[in-house]
Structure 1
Amino acid sequence: MSWYSVIYTKARNFKSQSPVLGTLLQWSFYVCVLIELLLFSLSSFVYFGITTQIFDSDIQASIYMVVYGLISFMMFWSYVRVITSSPFRVPKEYEMDEATDAKLRAVTPFNPQGRAMIDQSNEMQVAAQRRIMEEFAAARGITLVEVDQHSRLRYCYECRVLKPDRSHHCSSCGFCAIRFDHHCPYLNSCVAVHNYKFFVLFLLYLEAWLIWNVISGVQAIIVYFMRGDSSKRLDMIIPLCCLFVLQAASSVWPLGELLRYHWLLISTNETTCEQAKIPNIRGDPKANYDIGRWKNIEIVMGWGLWFFPVRTSTSDGMHHPINYVMPAADSSQFRVTVGTAETDTTVSPATTPLP
Structure 2
Amino acid sequence: MCVSLLVAYLTIFHVIFVFFIWTYWKSVFTPPQQPDKKFQMSYADKERYENEDRPEGQQQILVEMARKLPVYTRTGNGAIRFCDRCQLIKPDRCHHCSVCAMCVLKMDHHCPWVNNCIGFSNYKFFLLFLAYSLLYCMYIAATVFKYFIKFWTAELTNSRSKFHILFLLFVAIMFFVSLLFLFGYHCWLVSQNRSTLEAFSAPVFQNGPDKNGFNLGLVKNLQQVFGEERRLWLLPVVSSQGDGHFFPMRTWSEARNPLLANEEQWEEEGPEEDTHGCHLGSSLIVEMET
Q: Same fold (TM over 0.5)?
A: yes
CA distance in 2, matches of 1:309, 1:143: 29
C-alpha distance 219-72 of structure 1, shift in aligned 2 (>3 A): same
Q: Which has the higher helix share?
A: 1
Match of 1:86 among 22, 31, 43: 31
Alignment partner of 1:177 is 2:96: no
1:62 to partner: Cα distance: 2.1
What letter corresponds to residue 45 of structure 2 in structure 1? T
C-alpha distance 61-224 of structure 1, shift in aligned 2 (>3 A): farther
> Percent sequence identity over matched residues?
27
Q: Secondary structure at the match of 1:71?
A: helix
Unaligned runs of 5+ in 2: 262-290
Alignment check: 8 A CA contact 2:125 2:236 kept: yes
Unaligned runs of 5+ in 1: 1-55, 109-123, 329-334, 339-346, 349-355
Residue 63 of structure 2 aligns with which residue? Answer: 134
Residue 291 of structure 1 aligns with which residue? Answer: 216
Residue 43 of structure 1 aligns with which residue? Answer: none
Alignment check: 8 A CA contact 1:284 1:324 kept: no
Residue 20 of structure 1 aligns with which residue? Answer: none
CA distance in 2, matches of 1:222, 1:62: 22
Q: Secondary structure at the match of 2:237?
A: coil
1:221 to partner: Cα distance: 1.9
Alignment check: 8 A CA contact 1:149 1:280 kept: yes
CA distance in 2, matches of 1:99, 1:277: 34
Alignment check: 8 A CA contact 1:283 1:336 kept: no
Match of 1:168 among 86, 95, 114: 95
- Aligned pair count reads 256
C-alpha distance 77-319 of structure 1, shift in aligned 2 (>3 A): same
Residue 277 of structure 2 aligns with which residue? Answer: none
CA distance in 2, matches of 1:197, 1:167: 17
Residue 145 of structure 1 aligns with which residue? Answer: 72
Q: Secondary structure at the match of 2:103?
A: strand
Alignment check: 8 A CA contact 1:322 1:337 kept: no
Correspondences of 1:195-206 after superposition (within 5 Å)? 195-206=122-133
1:98 to partner: Cα distance: 3.5
Q: Secondary structure at the match of 1:336?
A: coil
Residue 156 of structure 1 aligns with which residue? Answer: 83
CA distance in 1, matches of 2:129, 2:239: 16
CA distance in 2, matches of 1:323, 1:284: 14
1:226 to partner: Cα distance: 4.7
CA distance in 1, matches of 2:106, 2:256: 18
What letter corresponds to residue 84 of structure 2 in structure 1? Y
What letter corresponds to residue 272 of structure 1 in structure 2? T
CA distance in 1, matches of 2:162, 2:74: 59
Match of 1:262 among 161, 186, 208: 186
Does 75-84 or 214-223 show the bigger shift?
214-223
Alignment check: 8 A CA contact 2:35 2:245 kept: no
Give TM-score scaled by structure 2 length: 0.81
Alignment check: 8 A CA contact 2:71 2:246 kept: no
Correspondences of 1:1-355 after superposition (within 5 Å)? 56-105=1-50, 125=55, 127-138=56-67, 141-226=68-153, 228=155, 232-252=157-177, 254-283=178-207, 285-286=209-210, 288-303=213-228, 304=230, 305-324=232-251, 335-336=254-255
Alignment check: 8 A CA contact 1:203 1:255 kept: yes
1:169 to partner: Cα distance: 0.4
CA distance in 1, matches of 2:220, 2:12: 32
C-alpha distance 337-299 of structure 1, shift in aligned 2 (>3 A): farther
CA distance in 1, matches of 2:196, 2:51: 33
Give TM-score scaled by structure 1 length: 0.67
Query: C-alpha root-mean-square deviation of aligned residues, in Å?
Result: 2.3
CA distance in 1, matches of 2:3, 2:86: 60
CA distance in 2, matches of 1:208, 1:324: 37
**Relative contact order: is structure 1 or structure 2 higher (C-alpha 8 Å, sep ≥ 6)?**
2
Q: Secondary structure at the match of 1:169?
A: strand
1:128 to partner: Cα distance: 2.6
C-alpha distance 336-130 of structure 1, shift in aligned 2 (>3 A): farther
Alignment check: 8 A CA contact 2:13 2:139 kept: yes
What letter corresponds to residue 129 of structure 1 in structure 2? Q
Alignment check: 8 A CA contact 2:70 2:246 kept: no
